[in-house]
Amino acid sequence: MYSFVWHVVNQRNVMHYGKVEEFVTVVTEAVPKLLSYKQRAQLILGLRARMILELFRKDPPNLQDIQRLLEKMNILGQQDAEVEESQANFVALVQTLLKN
């Protein structure tokens, strides 16, 4: 799995960033002190944000996939005010884009 994740990141294959997110989750659960909560949350938020933005590039955008990823974002920021604010700002931006 490590080589697959490295290939995805190296090639910037955004549509497989979900697998990178899974890898980060598994590794940080196995080695909790590898990343702080804030670092882990920001990394996962960044991966999800890139996936959402990539979905907007499709014509027409897949609104169900975008909404599903937005719902997953609501889970992360509950332990850190800064992470929660970043998440809320991004979700608001995406909601604005969805309305237009």
**Which domain does 45 fall in, by range?**
2-99
- Burial tier of 14 (Cβ tally within 10 Å: 0-12, 13-18, 19+): middle
What average pLDDT does range 32-46 have in this prediction? 90
**Number of domains the chain contains:** 1
| pTM for this entry | 0.82
Mean pLDDT of the region 33-41: 90
Instruction: Please give the average per-residue pLDDT across 35-52, as a whole number.
Output: 90
CB 51 within 8 A of CB 94: no
Give pLDDT tens digits for 44-89. Answer: 989 998 999 899 888 888 889 888 888 887 666 567 788 888 888 8
Give, in order, the Cα–Cα distances in Å from 39 to each of 1, 30, 35, 42, 80.
Answer: 22, 16, 6, 5, 11
Q: What is the reported pLDDT for 87?
A: 84
Cα 94 to chain centroid, rounded = 13
Confidence category of residue 37, pLDDT binned at 50, 70, 90: confident
Distance CA 88, CA 15 (A): 23
